[in-house]
Amino acid sequence: MEAPLIDFPFRSVLSLKPLADHLDRQSGSGGMSDPSVLSDLRIRLENAPELLGSVDDMAVLDRHEGLIADLMSAVFSPIFLETQLFAAVIPYRARPFFASHQFRRMLLNQDGSYAGRFVFDRDSYNRGRIARAYLIILERLCGIKHHFDFPLIRIVPDPLTGLERYFKLNLDFRFVQVRCVTRSHGISDEEAAEALKHITDPDALRVIMPPEEFEFSGFTLFHAVDVTESEVLSALEKDIVDQTSLLSEDGFSRLEDRLRTFFRRPQLKAGLAAIRKQEVILFHEQGADIPGCGLAGTSRLPVSRFNGTVFEQVVLEDKIVIVPDLMNEPPPDDIARDLLKKGERSLLIAPLKYKGECIGILVLKSAEPEEFGPLEAMIVGVLQPLFSLAVQHILEEIEHQIQAIIKERCTALHPTVEWRFQKAALNHMDRMRLDRGAEMEPIVFKGVYPFYGVSDIRGSSDERNRALQEDLTAHLHLAQKVLEVADEAKPLPILQELSRRVDDQIRGLGTGIGSGDEIRIVRFIQDEIEPVFNHIRSFGVRVTRAIEAYHSSMDGNVGTVYERRKAFEHSVGVLNERLAVFLDEENATLQSVCPHYFERHRTDGVDYLIYMGKSMLERAEFNDLYLRNMRLWQLKLACGMAHINERIKPSLEVPLETAHLILVQDAPLSIRFRYDEKRFDVDGAYDIRYEIVRSRLDKALIRGGKERLTQPGKVSIVYAHPEEGRETERHIDFLRSTGHLTGKTEYMELEDLPGVRGLKAMRVKVNLPSREEPSGAAEPTSVREIKTV
C-alpha cells in the first residue's frame, strides 16, 4: 500500500542517533547486561558517523549491514528473529531498513513493498497517520500525552496456503525525535489546544501547525501480531447478522472464504440448513433442483429425505459428528452418494439450537480425508451460537412472509368493509392517547343478508380411497415382483413366505381399505420387505434390475407409489382452480353493481359466503332490487359452474363431477368480527341457526329415503319459508326460458338435521352441452355466455 504515503506532509529522515542515545542511557544506568558489548557498539558507531546524522542515501545502510544488525539486537531479541514479525522503518515511511525473516516472508513482497492491504480505506489511513504525527509533536515538544489507538490491520495472503492472514501492526515511537525546523518560538498553548480540537482534520491542522515547520528523525519499530482468528470471527459475526450474507450467492461465498481462513483449510466448503417443521431449507446447496421457498438463495427438501443418515444422527443426539472419510463409511445413503459425487470426503456436522430446539445444521466439508478432528470440533463450538442466531432470524423472516401471504389471501380486510376498520382504528388511537383503554371497539354489521352456495366434487372421499387402494396395491405388486425374481435366481423358502405375505396384503386390499391400512401396509413394506433388498441384490443382474425398477417407481417425497393419488389430486386441483377463477371473475363483476362482503374457500370443490346490506356500505345506496338480483345471480352462477365441470371433464386424468347447492334465507341477520379468529361470524343466538344449517347441509338427505339432496349436473336450493320458495320458482322459470335450466322442478322435504327442522328443497337440472359437442369448445367466461341447447 505505497500510494497513500505521498499524502504524508512532514519531512522524515532515518537516523540511528536516538538509538545511540538510548544505549548511552542504558550504560549509565547499569541496565546493560554486558558492558563490553555496549562499548564495542559505541566504538563502531563512532567509526560510522554517517549513521548518526540524517541518512538520505540508503546505500549507507548496505555498507554497514553487520553493524545495523548488531544494533538492532539491542532492540529486538535475536532468539525471536525466526519466529516473530518485527521491523524497523524510517518514521512514517513504508519500507523497512531492517526486518525479521518472518516479517519479510509474511508481510513484504520481493521488491520490499508491503504485501496485501489494510482493512480500511486510503482516506482513513491518511487521517490516522497525520493525527498520530501531530500527537507525537505535541508529546515531544509540549509534553502533552494523548492516548491514540488507531489499529493497523493488514490482510496478506499466506505464502503456503494462499488463505488470508490478518496481522495487527503495533508501532513503537521510542526512537523517533521531532524538531522545529523554521519556528523559534515553539508551540503555544493556544496552538496545542486548537490542534487537539481538530486532530482528525488534516486541512485544519496544516493551518494551525504547518507541517513544513517540523521534521521527524530516527526510526519506528513495527511488531506484527497474528490476529486472524479474532478478526475473522468479528467479520463472521457481522456477515451472519446481515441475512443477505446467507441468502445471496456473493455473501455466502464470502462467508465460506472467511471460514477457510478461520480454519486454515484451503479446500473447506460450508453447508447450512434450517429445519422448519417437516422441511429442511438448504442455503446455496449446489445441484438442488427443487422449488425455492420464497426466500432468495434457498431450496427445500422433506425431512424424511435425511432419515437414517448421519445428519439425522446429529439432530437426534445433539452433538457434533465428524466423518473422517466418506469412502470408508458403511454402504452410503443417497445423501452420502451425492456428496461423494461432488468430490467431498470428510465432514464435520454441528447442530444449531435455539431455546433448546435444533433448528438447523452447519456442515464443513473437504475434498481431503481426515480433514477434521477434535480441535476443529472445539472451534466450531465457538461458531454454533452465531449460526444458530442467524438461522433463527431467517426462520422468523420466513414466518413473516408466510403470515403476510395468509393475511393477503385469507384474512386481509375485504375492501367493502375496510372503511369500518379504519374508523375503528382511528377511534382506538384516540382512546390510547387519552388513556381510556386499549381494547378495539366491536365491529358489528346489523341487518345484512347472507348468500351461500357450494359446488362440491361428488364422491371425492370415495375416489381418494380408491386412489390410495390402487397405489398401495401397485406398491405391493412391485415388491412381490422383486421377491419372485430373487426366488428364481436363488430359491429360498423365506422368500416364498414373504411373497405369500405380500399376496395376503394384496387380497386384503381387494376387499376395501380401512383408515389404518395405509400406515400398516407401508410399515410392513419398509420394516419387513425392503431390508431384504440389500442382501438379495447380490443374487444377480435380474434381481438388481427389479430392485432398481421398484425404487424408480417410488415417489421421492412420500416413499411409496403415488401415481393414482397424484392423478386424483391434480384433477381436483385443476377443477378447483377453474371453478375458483370463474367465481372470482363473476363476483368482481357483481361487486361493481352493489358492493358486498365475499369469502371463497377451496376444498374438494369451492364454496362462497356473501353478506350484503345497507350497514356494510359507507356511501353507496342499497335497494331490495340488489337482493333479488343476487339470488338470480346465484342460480346462473351454479349453471356456469356445471358447464365448466362438463367442459373440462374429458381432459382430467380422473373424471370428476360436481353437485351444486344454494341456501336461501330472506331474513336479515347480524355479523360480528371476531378479533381472535380474524373473521366474521353471525352474532346472536337467533342468527346462529343459519350457521348451523350452512355447516350441515352437505349431508342433507331427502325425507323418507337415503337419497342425497345434491346430485351431479343439478342445482339444489334449500329454503325454510314459502315466500323464499316462490321467489326461487320465479327465478327457475326465467332461467329455464333462457336455456340455462331444463326439465321439471323437483320439490322435496329434507330429513331433520341436528337442531334444525322443517327445511324444504327444490332441485332442477342444468342444461349442459351434449356429448356430441367438441370437448375442446371454449368454456363460458361469464354466466351471460352459457350456451343454450
What CA–CA distance (Å, rounded) separates 646 from 770? 9
pLDDT band at 244 (very low <50, low <70, confident <90, very high): low
| Cell matching residue 600 | 371463497
- Coil, strand or helix at 302: strand
- pLDDT at residue 184, rounded to an integer: 72
* Domain covering 230-406 assigned CATH 3.30.450.40 in the classification: yes
Per the CB < 8 A criterion, the answer to whether 562 and 555 are in contact is yes
What percent of the chain shows pLDDT beyond 90? 37
- pLDDT at residue 634, rounded to an integer: 95
How many C-beta atoms surround the C-beta of residue 126 within 10 A? Answer: 17
17-26, 354-363, 775-784: least confident range: 775-784
Q: Is the pLDDT of residue 772 over 70?
A: no
> DSSP states of 25-53 as a string?
HHHHHT--S-HHHHHHHHHHHHT-GGGTS
| Cell matching residue 288 | 438442488
E-assigned strands of 46-182? 85-89, 96-99, 117-118, 152-157, 164-172, 176-180
| Cell matching residue 146 | 494523548
DSSP state of 440: P
Residue 345's φ and ψ, nearest 5 degrees, are -120, -45
Indicate the domain borders of the chain. Answer: 3-225, 230-406, 461-557
Q: Is the pLDDT of residue 406 over 50?
A: no
Per the CB < 8 A criterion, the answer to whether 709 and 654 are in contact is no
| Cell matching residue 465 | 380411497
Burial class (CB in 10 A: 0-12, 13-18, 19+), 494: exposed
Residue with cell 331444463: 742
- Coil, strand or helix at 220: strand
Give the strand pairing for 152-157 and 117-118: antiparallel
- pLDDT at residue 552, rounded to an integer: 92
Q: Is the pLDDT of residue 542 over 60?
A: yes
Amino acid, res. 130: I
- pLDDT at residue 372, rounded to an integer: 92
| Cell matching residue 560 | 411409496
Per the CB < 8 A criterion, the answer to whether 271 and 365 are in contact is yes
The mean pLDDT value of the chain amounts to 84
Amino acid, res. 371: E
- pLDDT at residue 397, rounded to an integer: 79
Q: Is the pLDDT of residue 222 over 50?
A: yes
For range 430-442, the mean pLDDT: 67
For range 621-631, the mean pLDDT: 90
Which positions ≥6 away from 576 have C-beta within 8 Å?
A: 602, 604, 605, 606
Q: Is the pLDDT of residue 6 over 80?
A: no
pLDDT band at 164 (very low <50, low <70, confident <90, very high): confident
- pLDDT at residue 405, rounded to an integer: 46
What CA–CA distance (Å, rounded) separates 544 from 539? 8
Q: Is the pLDDT of residue 467 over 80?
A: yes
For range 11-18, the mean pLDDT: 90
Q: Is the pLDDT of residue 576 over 90?
A: yes
More confident residue, 435 or 646: 646
Give the strand pairing for 346-354 and 760-766: unpaired
Q: Is the pLDDT of residue 359 over 60?
A: yes
What CA–CA distance (Å, rounded) separates 22 from 45? 13
What CA–CA distance (Å, rounded) separates 140 from 147? 14
pLDDT band at 8 (very low <50, low <70, confident <90, very high): confident
The vertex-190 CA angle with 189 and 196, nearest 5°, equals: 90
- pLDDT at residue 561, rounded to an integer: 92
- pLDDT at residue 778, rounded to an integer: 46
Per the CB < 8 A criterion, the answer to whether 775 and 647 are in contact is yes
More confident residue, 629 or 118: 629
More confident residue, 729 or 61: 729
For range 52-61, the mean pLDDT: 85
Which positions ≥6 away from 596 have C-beta within 8 Å?
A: 416, 590, 610, 611, 612, 616, 630
Q: Is the pLDDT of residue 451 over 90?
A: yes
Radius of gyration of the chain (CA): 42
What CA–CA distance (Å, rounded) separates 736 from 724? 18
- pLDDT at residue 9, rounded to an integer: 87
What's this model's pTM, rounded to 2 decimal places?
0.50
What CA–CA distance (Å, rounded) separates 467 from 571? 12
| Cell matching residue 655 | 373424471
> DSSP states of 512-545 as a string?
---TTHHHHHHHHIIIIIHHHHHHHGGG-HHHHH
Residue with cell 521527524: 216
Find the helix or strand (DSSP H, E) in which 210 lies. Answer: none
pLDDT band at 606 (very low <50, low <70, confident <90, very high): very high
Find the helix or strand (DSSP H, E) in which 223 lies. Answer: strand 220-226
Q: Is the pLDDT of residue 775 over 60?
A: no
What CA–CA distance (Å, rounded) separates 503 from 495? 12
How many C-beta atoms surround the C-beta of residue 553 within 10 A? Answer: 15
- Coil, strand or helix at 198: coil
Find the helix or strand (DSSP H, E) in which 631 lies. Answer: helix 624-648
For range 480-505, the mean pLDDT: 92
Q: Is the pLDDT of residue 776 over 50?
A: no
For 229-236, the CB contacts below 8 A with 24+ separation are 229/262, 230/166, 231/119, 231/153, 231/166, 232/166, 232/258, 232/261, 232/262, 233/262, 233/382, 233/383, 236/262, 236/383, 236/386
pLDDT band at 472 (very low <50, low <70, confident <90, very high): very high
- pLDDT at residue 290, rounded to an integer: 36
44-53, 62-71, 197-206, 245-254: least confident range: 245-254
For range 556-577, the mean pLDDT: 91
Q: Is the pLDDT of residue 151 over 70?
A: yes
- Coil, strand or helix at 563: helix
pLDDT band at 413 (very low <50, low <70, confident <90, very high): low
How many C-beta atoms surround the C-beta of residue 713 within 10 A? Answer: 16
pLDDT band at 4 (very low <50, low <70, confident <90, very high): very low
Q: Is the pLDDT of residue 433 over 60?
A: no
Q: Is the pLDDT of residue 227 over 70?
A: yes
Q: Is the pLDDT of residue 434 over 70?
A: no
More confident residue, 216 or 755: 216
How many C-beta atoms surround the C-beta of residue 437 within 10 A? Answer: 10
DSSP state of 407: I
| Cell matching residue 227 | 490476529
380-394, 427-441, 710-724: least confident range: 427-441
Q: Is the pLDDT of residue 787 over 60?
A: no
Residue with cell 481538530: 198
- pLDDT at residue 432, rounded to an integer: 64
E-assigned strands of 683-740? 714-719
| Cell matching residue 207 | 493551518
Per the CB < 8 A criterion, the answer to whether 362 and 381 are in contact is no
Residue with cell 371425492: 460
- 674 beta partners: 679
H helices then E strands: how many in the chain? 24, 24
